[in-house]
Amino acid sequence: MARGDLVTGNVWEQYSEKVQERMNFPKAMGEFTQADADERGARLIVADFGAESCGDAVRLFWLVDEKTDTILDSKFKSFGCGTAIASSDAMAELCIGKKVDDAIHITNTEVEAFLRDDVDTPAVPPQKMHCSVMAYDVILEAVAQYKGVERSEIENSDIVCECARKTHKDIVDAIREHNITEVEQIIEITKAGSYCKSCIRPGGHEPKDIYLVDILDQVKKQMNQERLENAANNSGNNSFADMTIVQRIKAVDAVIDEYIRPMLIMDGGDMEIVDIRENLPHFDIFIKYLGACGSCASGTTGTLYAIESTLKQKIDENIRVLPI
């Protein structure tokens, strides 16, 4: 059985060898004093962060070259579990040599990935990902102190996935850019929901105000509405009869994506438009069922009626839908 598949058994096998090594022999544990900073002509930054949920705490020390805003060296002290020590150790090492503004982008997912023995096996169990989140939080404290601002000024409060540090905007941008239709695509592309999975849908490790499935549903509706409006604008608000074939396909596609396709996908199927032909006074839309819909008896009865009724209501009452 692979280490990443373990739920019970030897608990140590749920942690990578790199994590175990840094638990016992951290490389960056220690502290810097003002004397150390003066000796290297650097500014000393000492930042603290504590996790209320588990009582762990970490203190981060930076020596920063103010001429270049470069972190010359980094150390930490951790008051917490072994995973917190390993995550803080990796975080401190990753900071060295980076610009202060670049250190903000050292996310907890990067810390966790740094601690993996192989790219496909998580370094720690999902319930311990909060330890690497704490490492990210103390970086924000250090950056805020260096810049002399409140943490809220540099922290994006719109976080949806704490593990991957993905914001609502990150998720929306990915859905639009990649035309995402399934929550699994969000996870694959953004890594949000890859770890503790709490943000995917209700019922996860921790309750959330909003979930990936909610955002996907909202954005898909917005995109489909935009497509409907664009189709209408491009047609000069013409009737379906006056539209070009391209405009008709766009209009039908938009309605299918909004009202029909989600219903089909839930049952393991899908559909595509093959052709639209004038057979006045009717417009015959030829469709092809995909996936489970291709072998479903209701494809010529209830499902077909639902598709045709929706297109008649939303586009033109003379539409007929014919499966092929």
Q: Which residues are catalytic?
A: 54, 131
How many CB atoms are closer than 10 A to CB 206?
12
CA distances from 261 to 37, 96, 280 (A): 62, 50, 27
Partners of 74 in the β-ladder: 62
Instruction: Pick the closest to residue 251 from 277, 278, 224, 283 (CA basis).
Output: 224
- 281 upstream amide cis, omega within 30 of 0: yes
Q: How far apart are CA 25 and CA 28, in angstroms?
A: 9
Q: Say if CB 46 and CB 33 are below 8 A apart.
A: no
Residue with tokens 């010529």: 300
How many CA atoms lie within 13 Å of 71's alpha carbon, on the beta-carbon side? 27
Sheet with 269-279, strands from edge to edge, namely 269-279, 282-291, 319-323
Work out the widest C-alpha separation in the chain, in whole angstroms: 89
Q: Say if CB 283 and CB 240 are below 8 A apart.
A: yes
User: What tokens does 289 get?
Assistant: 């069922």
